[in-house]
Amino acid sequence: MEGNNFYSIDRLIEFGMSMAVAQQMIQSMNQTITNMHVPGAMNKMETEPIYYAVVEGDRIGPLNSSEILKLIESKTIDKQTYMWKPGLTNWLLVEQLPEILKLVALTPPPLPKK
């Protein structure tokens, strides 16, 4: 009669092994669902932020970091340029946006003329 008792060693081992298998299945399913891409669905995508800038009184954008870097190199954007990205309530100067100010600071000067 001991084999039918839930608290018997055999039943507890069986229960523990079932729980371990269930946890592995759940982890596998969660990983599969997380990595799944469904076209047209609102999947969480790892994208870089987009920005807008005010250049000569006009709004330009959306801009990604490589486009911003080109505008910095051409001196179209500097630390006194107003920029905005989704999530901000107001336009801010580049010097108030550390991620853009870093691009300004890391931009090399023009090549020396011979």
| pLDDT one-digit tens code per residue, 18-57 | 888 888 888 888 888 777 766 666 555 556 789 999 999 9
In contact, 50 and 63? CB cutoff 8 Å: yes
Q: Residue 112: is the preceding peptide bond cis (ω within 30°)?
A: no
Domain that residue 62 falls in: 51-106
CATH of the domain at 91: 3.30.1490
In this structure, the answer to whether residues 29 and 56 fall within a common structural domain is no
Q: Are residues 60 and 100 in the same domain?
A: yes
The winner for highest mean pLDDT among 17-31, 37-51, 76-90, 97-111 is: 76-90
Rounded Cα distance, 86 and 63, in Å: 12
CB 83 within 8 A of CB 105: no
Domain assignment of residue 46, yes or no: no
- Whether 9 is covered by a domain: the verdict is yes
